[in-house]
Amino acid sequence: MENKEKSVLAKQGSAVKAMMLAVLVPAIAFGEPAAPVGFKEQCQKQLWVTYRSFNKEFERTAQFAAMGITNRCFFAANTINGLAKPYCEYPLIWKGFKDYDWSALDAQAEDLVKASPNARFMVMIDLNTPYWATHKFWLDSFTDITHAGVMPEWRNRTKEWMLDFIAYAEKRWGDRIGCYILSGGGTSEWYEYDRGRSSYAKTKGWKGWCKARKLSLGETPPTPQSLSRAAFENLVYDPATEPEKIAYWKFHNSITANAILFFANAARKAIPKEKEIGVFFGYYLTSCPNQTSFAHLDYTRVYASPDIDFFIAPGNYSDRAIGGGAGSQLVYGTALRYGKRFLHEIDFGPHDQTQWGRGLWKTLEDDLAGNTREAAFAMAHNANYWWFDMWGQFYRNPKVRERIAALKKVQDALKPAPSVAEILIVCDSESLYHVNEKCPLERAFGQHLRNKLARIAAPYDIYSFDDLPVLDMNRYKLVCLNSTLLITPERAKFLREKVCTGGRTVLWCYAPGVTDGKTLDAGHVKQWAGVPFKTPGINTTQMDGWRSVYAYDYKLFTPESLTKIASDAGVHLYLDNLATVFAKEGFLAVHTKDGGEKTVRLRTKAAKIVDLLTGKTMACDADSFSVKFASPDTRLFSIKKEVSK
């Protein structure tokens, strides 16, 4: 090749690369936020405290109704679950295109009304492919939602079923239905299990996605084998040499978000405006190393949708044992930003339930403390929650039901209130698009830090990086940016002006700023970490007006080390012992594995502290009080108004 031709091709390549990078690293408006809403709007949404089961469970439905829990969720399912069992104990409703057995829906609703005459329904609509349609589409959306999601025929046929379902349900049962939940994908929670595998439909979608963005990234998507390799420590993709991998994960995650938005928009037009729409989505804090391929990372667009009112996730699977910190898989602060509630799914099997309990709760006392912890988490976050009697018999023990009834009374008297957390965990999807999730180092960016922080006797908030401009950062003394690998010049400017300032402590993990979206350079780490990349141990560096705490090895962030970091940052710790604490204005919950006499210290002096489950006054005109905890125990306290000085 002549030198002149090489020069022309080089210029063309540079132009294409610059254009690709501009698309792969979208500008973020760090100025005035676009129509932000928040706490007030969230609390205007309905509060759902509910009983749910896959099984009929008429006896339990009646018992929960007697406890005042008349909201009942049922799943009008057409599909089979991952255990090869039908999700629904009633006959198939969707039998063919425009062919429905509505008597199967009626039977389900009628049976529940017999058990609970005042029942109010949360109705899950199954948008997955029935078995008779799998050959029609040559896929099952349960296992291949991102492949189905790019198929117009699948979307349109499924929308047709959904709208016909809503029309019938509203006509026959509309006076009892308070909300619809749109369910699809893996486990009906919009999971994708393909781990990056492509197909004819998905390859066609990839070509269209790239063409719309004027990207020249090849005729076919990168293979799973290619995606499982990365230029930097086999963890971080190099945007200069591996842009197709970053782009592919953006495309992959956008499919699920687009599908949910498509169905939600159609459903919103079909139901009365006072009825709500919910969806399982936004699982950033997943328990297995599939944060990117699960296809939930494009959650902010979905949270911002005016068509959806609340989001659902099961409790944290990786920290369920007694003494653990519980929590949600959702970035629920982002939902709050957009005025949405979230729903905390309490699906913990009791100590004597072998199919789902997994031996984490070993005694009746564990069941009581554990279920109270889960409800307290929801109460502290003004969240919906449901008692999910998954396979039945979770709540057969009358002592457990007595506790649930007592918790319902606490909930009924509890008012919505804002968080008082001084710790902020920041989730960062844009950074995760740059990550090879198959590398074990990826664990640094998920649940680990949250699980350890949850034990240090201080509450925390969870938001997304893009939420930071709309937050009042003054309350936060410790900000955890453990997953922020991508720091563009725009992000850097924002961090210096709004986050890394005011004497605040900022915690980093692995390689903050290793990429700016165009290049990849470990030399950038020091300006944020205060020490060079891979410096051993936990390193605290006094920066210009703020403090940096950095560890390359995420495992060094233990409850003990994080307790010291938080204390040094000035975070209020409610106990001297390791414990899980949930708090909002006027409400405090403490969960502990170990019993004994413990002192609970408040942020400010209170006029009166009351144990909400016993009604006992713990102290008056005090900024601390003593509690004798059982082993294990979860206690809920009302913190009355601060005493005037």
CATH architecture of 39-413: Alpha-Beta Barrel (3.20)
Sole residue written with tokens 């003593």:
626
pLDDT band per the 50, 70, 90 thresholds, residue 408:
very high
**Per-residue pLDDT for 11 more than 50?**
no
C-alpha pair distances (Å), 377 with each of 107, 116, 314, 580? 35, 27, 12, 10
DSSP codes of every residue in 119-138: -EEEEEEE-SPPGGGHHHHT
Which pLDDT score is estimated for 3? 43
Q: CB-based contacts of 546: which residues, under 8 Å, 6+ apart?
A: 500, 501, 502, 503, 504, 505, 506
Domain extent listing, the chain: 39-413, 423-569, 594-639
**Per-residue pLDDT for 144 more than 90?**
yes
Structure confidence by residue, pLDDT tens digits, 418-450:
999 999 999 999 999 999 999 999 999 999 999
Residue 47, number of CB atoms within 10 A of its CB = 18
Cis peptide before 459 (omega within 30 of 0): no
Q: Could you tell me the two tokens for 301?
A: 């667009």
Task: Give kind and range of the element (H or E) at residue 479.
Answer: strand 478-481
Share of the chain above pLDDT 70, in %: 93
Structure confidence by residue, pLDDT tens digits, 533-574:
999 999 999 999 999 999 999 999 999 999 999 999 999 999
Which pLDDT score is estimated for 294? 94
**Per-residue pLDDT for 460 more than 60?**
yes
pLDDT band per the 50, 70, 90 thresholds, residue 642:
low
Which pLDDT score is estimated for 81? 80
Structure confidence by residue, pLDDT tens digits, 612-629:
999 999 999 999 999 999
C-alpha pair distances (Å), 497 with each of 26, 43, 474, 483, 544? 20, 31, 13, 20, 12
Average pLDDT over residues 199-208: 94
Torsion over CA: 414, 419, 425, 431 (sign): positive
622 forms beta bridges with 606
Structure confidence by residue, pLDDT tens digits, 350-372:
998 867 666 789 999 999 999 99
Structure confidence by residue, pLDDT tens digits, 14-45:
444 444 444 455 544 444 433 345 888 888 89
Which pLDDT score is estimated for 254? 97
Q: Is 474 exposed, middle or buried (0-12, 13-18, 19+ CB in 10 A)?
A: exposed
Question: What's this model's pTM, rounded to 2 decimal places?
Answer: 0.94
Which pLDDT score is estimated for 353? 80
Average pLDDT over residues 167-195: 96
Q: Could you tell me the two tokens for 139?
A: 């896929």
Please determine whether the domains at 39-413 and 423-569 fall in the same fold group of CATH: no
Q: CB-based contacts of 507: which residues, under 8 Å, 6+ apart?
A: 449, 478, 479, 480, 481, 482, 549, 550, 557, 565
Which pLDDT score is estimated for 467? 96
Topology adopted by domain 423-569: Rossmann fold (3.40.50)
Three-point CA angle 348, 327, 537, nearest 5°: 125
Which pLDDT score is estimated for 8? 37
Residue 484 DSSP symbol = -
